[in-house]
């Protein structure tokens, strides 16, 4: 494998002109530049919704705490170490709290009876294993 | 004689450039990704996912679909005192009342399924559902008082049922003790169907509407199917099967794990057997239904859960194009031949 690759490289060098080599370097620079720009991601944030209305977006890279009045009582949203979580105190099923820390784009934590939801957005979309889970 | 060393070398750069561009750049292009919007609607998280739709068209279509689901909720919710259904439930017994055409459509389908399933699905179960209170903002953590339960069940069984008496315009004769309607096990399916219709009217051909795990699929994700996991009834975060779907199909699952409480070491779940007035104990812990529409799938997942395996499979031929995945209480599965899924070990 290495021998055949070396042979191919030697063949290409022997058959190429200076212009060819300059063209290859130029093409490689273009490709690297396009890789750089397509690979960069915008900053991520936590978007907070109350009763289906977007009320605030907070950067995920800055520690923060918010306490919001939910329909059943206060709901706390905490951001730390690039992740966010929602903690309800009066909800019977505590599904939002049980969701725990979320950090990937598209992840959601919600207290449905409180009417409070947070969603991570702004980064490159993650590829979930499933498009939905029937339950 | 030697050839002159100044012979022109063949130019390679056009070939090399094309090789590089066509072998590397396709891998660098941004993959098409689904566009997902989630909102709190109908007391649950509703996610609408679309595939490869221009942004303006997607935004308008999805907003309209959510608005449609909210409209259905205002019409058919038994939680909102101002809903049309709540107004209906306040009507006097034996009175005849005009019905909203959409409400009539859903009630009529509910009555049909009630009759075919020998009462396993019952849209007139409001008093019993309220007594158990699995769905309130502060759900019950203990079963109801046995005497109270016996009284409600007795009234439930003896009451004269509502009667749909007219098609155009639709009307209903209210049964004994009031209409007693709760469409919680069918209206969400109807709302999903309406959302899909609105998306289609917006020219969207590939989409997924997921209302708290009840869903309907439209089209595909380009060359790829939609991948739907089916929740494992006993292991959080795991699936028992994966359905890869690339056509219009609804899928609804009813399980004993969604809303439940434990009292004195006994587990009480939210799927009530209208015959006993208590959580169904049919030997099934999860029922997944695939059907052409979500309204049918929604009602049948409850009905088949209550009926149990043997009676469900006997009744299945009455429902064309409906397929089942049943999970027994010992964890074993039964899948009908046409149910689209790959089982997980």
Q: What ipTM is given for this predicted complex?
A: 0.86
pLDDT higher than 90, residue B88 = yes
Q: What is the CATH number of the domain that holds B102?
A: 1.10.3980.10
Domain end call among B142, B173, B204 = B173
Percentage of chain B exceeding pLDDT 90: 77
Q: What is the mean pLDDT of residues B147-164?
A: 94
Q: How far is C-alpha B76 from the geometric centre of its chain's CA atoms?
A: 16
Contact B113, B303 (CB under 8 A): yes
- Looking at the domain assignment, is residue B72 inside a domain? no
Task: Tell me the pLDDT band of B30, cut-offs 50, 70 and 90.
Answer: very low
Contact B313, B267 (CB under 8 A): no
- Weakest-pLDDT range from A47-56, B228-237, B274-283: A47-56
Q: What is the CATH number of the domain that holds B338?
A: 3.10.520.10
Please indicate, yes or no, whether residues B166 and B271 belong to a single structural domain of this protein. no
Within the 138-177 window of chain B, which residues sit less than 8 Å (CB to CB) from chain A? Answer: 138-139, 141
- When computed from its CA atoms, the radius of gyration of chain A, rounded to whole angstroms, is 25
How high is the pLDDT of residue A12?
66
A117: which chain B residues are within 8 Å (Cβ-Cβ)? 38, 40, 45
Higher pLDDT, B1 or B125: B125
Residue range A45-121 forms a domain whose CATH class is: mainly beta
Task: Tell me the pLDDT band of A36, cut-offs 50, 70 and 90.
Answer: very low
Domain end call among B135, B155, B173 = B173
Write out the residue range of the structural domain in which residue B316 sits: 225-343
- When computed from its CA atoms, the radius of gyration of chain B, rounded to whole angstroms, is 26
Task: Tell me the pLDDT band of A122, cut-offs 50, 70 and 90.
Answer: confident
- Looking at the domain assignment, is residue B143 inside a domain? yes
pLDDT higher than 70, residue B233 = yes
Q: Do B251 and A28 touch (CB under 8 A)?
A: no
Q: What is the mean pLDDT of residues B68-75?
A: 96
pLDDT higher than 60, residue A40 = no
Domain end call among B153, B173, B193 = B173
How high is the pLDDT of residue A42?
40
Q: What is the pLDDT of residues B4-15, one digit of tens each?
A: 444 445 555 555
> Among B211, B147, B148, B158, which Cα is nearest to B180's?
B158
Six-digit token pair at B125? 């179960």
Phi first, then psi: give them for residue B34, nearest 5 degrees.
-65, 150
User: How far is the alpha carbon of B180 from chain A, nearest alpha carbon, in Å?
Assistant: 24
Higher pLDDT, B49 or A17: B49
B250: enclosing H helix or E strand? strand B249-255
- Weakest-pLDDT range from A69-73, A89-93, B77-81: A89-93
Q: Is-cis flag, bond preceding B213, omega within 30?
A: no
A122: which chain B residues are within 8 Å (Cβ-Cβ)? none
Tell me if chain A has a CB within 8 Å of the CB of B215.
yes
pLDDT higher than 70, residue A93 = no
B112: enclosing H helix or E strand? helix B101-116
Rounded Cα gap, residues B271 and B302, in angstroms: 7
Tell me if chain A has a CB within 8 Å of the CB of B221.
yes
How high is the pLDDT of residue A120?
87
pLDDT higher than 70, residue A33 = no
Phi first, then psi: give them for residue B260, nearest 5 degrees.
-160, 160
pLDDT higher than 60, residue B2 = no
* Chain B residue with the nearest C-alpha to that of A21: B13
Q: What is the pLDDT of residues B36-53, one digit of tens each?
A: 998 888 888 899 999 999
Best of A50, A93, A128, A131 to substitute, by most chain B Cβ atoms within 10 angstroms, is A131
Q: What is the mean pLDDT of residues B77-103?
A: 93
- Give residue for tokens 């690339």: B246
pLDDT higher than 60, residue A126 = yes
Number of independent structural domains in chain B:
2
Query: Mean pLDDT score of chain B, rounded to an integer?
Result: 90
Nearest CB to B228; choose among A35, A115, A134: A134
How high is the pLDDT of residue A30?
62
How high is the pLDDT of residue B289?
98
User: How far is the alpha carbon of B264 from chain A, nearest alpha carbon, in Å?
Assistant: 18
How high is the pLDDT of residue A41?
43
Please indicate, yes or no, whether residues B144 and B238 belong to a single structural domain of this protein. no
- Give residue for tokens 């590397």: B24
DSSP structure class, residue A112: T
Rounded Cα gap, residues B334 and B331, in angstroms: 10
């Amino acid at each position: 494998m290495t021998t055949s690759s070396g042979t191919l490289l030697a063949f290409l060098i022997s058959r190429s002109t200076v212009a060819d080599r300059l063209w290859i370097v130029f093409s490689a620079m273009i490709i690297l530049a396009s890789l750089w720009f397509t690979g960069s991601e915008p900053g991520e944030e936590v978007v907070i919704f109350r009763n289906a209305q977007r009320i605030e977006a907070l950067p995920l890279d800055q520690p923060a705490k918010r306490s919001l009045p939910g329909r059943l009582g206060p709901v706390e949203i905490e951001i730390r170490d690039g992740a966010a979580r929602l903690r309800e105190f009066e909800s019977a099923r505590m599904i939002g709290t049980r969701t725990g820390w979320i950090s990937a784009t598209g992840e959601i934590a919600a207290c449905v009876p409180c009417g409070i939801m947070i969603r991570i957005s702004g980064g490159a979309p993650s590829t979930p294993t499933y498009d939905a889970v029937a339950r | 004689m030697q050839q002159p060393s100044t012979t022109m070398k063949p130019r390679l750069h056009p070939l090399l450039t094309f090789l590089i561009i066509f072998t590397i750049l396709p891998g660098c292009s941004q993959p098409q990704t689904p566009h997902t919007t989630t909102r709190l609607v109908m007391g649950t998280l509703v996610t609408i996912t679309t595939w490869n739709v221009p942004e303006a068209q997607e935004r308008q279509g999805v907003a309209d679909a959510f608005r449609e689901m909210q409209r259905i909720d205002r019409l058919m919710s038994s939680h909102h005192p101002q809903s049309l259904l709540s107004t209906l439930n306040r009507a006097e017994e034996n009175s005849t009342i005009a019905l909203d055409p959409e409400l009539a459509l859903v009630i009529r389908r509910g009555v049909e399924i009630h009759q075919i399933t020998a009462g396993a699905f019952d849209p007139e179960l409001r008093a019993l559902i309220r007594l158990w209170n699995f769905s309130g903002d502060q759900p019950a953590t203990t079963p109801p008082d046995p005497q109270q339960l016996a009284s409600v069940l007795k009234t439930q069984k003896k009451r004269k049922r509502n009667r749909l008496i007219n098609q155009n315009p639709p009307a209903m004769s209210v049964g004994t003790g009031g209409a007693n309607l709760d469409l919680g096990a069918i209206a969400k399916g109807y709302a999903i169907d309406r959302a899909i219709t609105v998306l289609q009217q917006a020219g969207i051909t590939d989409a997924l509407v997921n209302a708290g795990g009840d869903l309907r699929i439209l089209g595909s994700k380009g060359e790829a199917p939609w991948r739907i996991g089916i929740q494992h009834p006993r292991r959080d975060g795991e699936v028992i099967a994966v359905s890869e779907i690339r056509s219009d199909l609804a899928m609804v699952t009813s399980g004993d794990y969604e809303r439940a409480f434990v009292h004195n070491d006994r587990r009480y779940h939210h799927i009530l057997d209208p015959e006993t007035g208590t959580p169904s104990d049919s030997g099934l812990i999860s029922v997944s239904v695939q059907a052409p529409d979500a309204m049918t799938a929604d009602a049948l997942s409850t009905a088949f859960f209550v009926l149990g395996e043997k009676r469900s499979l006997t009744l299945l031929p009455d429902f064309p194009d409906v397929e089942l995945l049943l999970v027994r209480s010992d964890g074993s599965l039964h899948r009908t031949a046409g149910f689209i899924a790959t089982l997980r070990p």
